[in-house]
Homo-oligomer: A and B are copies of this chain.
Amino acid sequence: MSDDTSLWSALADPHRRSIVALLLERPRSVGEIVEECGLSQPSTSKHLKVLREAGLVRVRQDAQRRVYALDPAPIAALDAWLAPYRKLWNRSLDALGRRLDETSDTSTEDPSPKD
């Protein structure tokens, strides 16, 4: 059930955004995630449950370990939500940039999210 609200509220938590950022690098087991973001194991498991129910992550069972990985679909949904607004800020950036420069590409320059 990945309705928009569960997706947004899943990402509203900074710890969960950290987890998502971790999983962007590579899939990880719960233990790794616990160690990386310094939360307790039960708390981490709960966050992972929220992310799971929001459709943001998937689990693969490997012996006793459970390896979590990002599911790109909800990210795409976010992107779709964002699309109309992107027009808006492109427009206003354009209005600004008209006086500044011709740099129309102010987008993806950030290789690593730290959040």
Contact = CB atoms under 8 A, between A and B. Distances in A.
Contacts of A14: 4-5
Copies in the complex: 2
A12 B17 contact: no
Interface residues of A, number: 40
A110 B80 contact: yes
A63 interface: no
Interface stretch (A28-36, A40-48, A70-78): A70-78
A61 interface: no
Interface of A: 4-5, 8-9, 11-12, 14, 17, 20, 24, 70, 72-73, 75-76, 78-93, 105-108, 110-113, 115
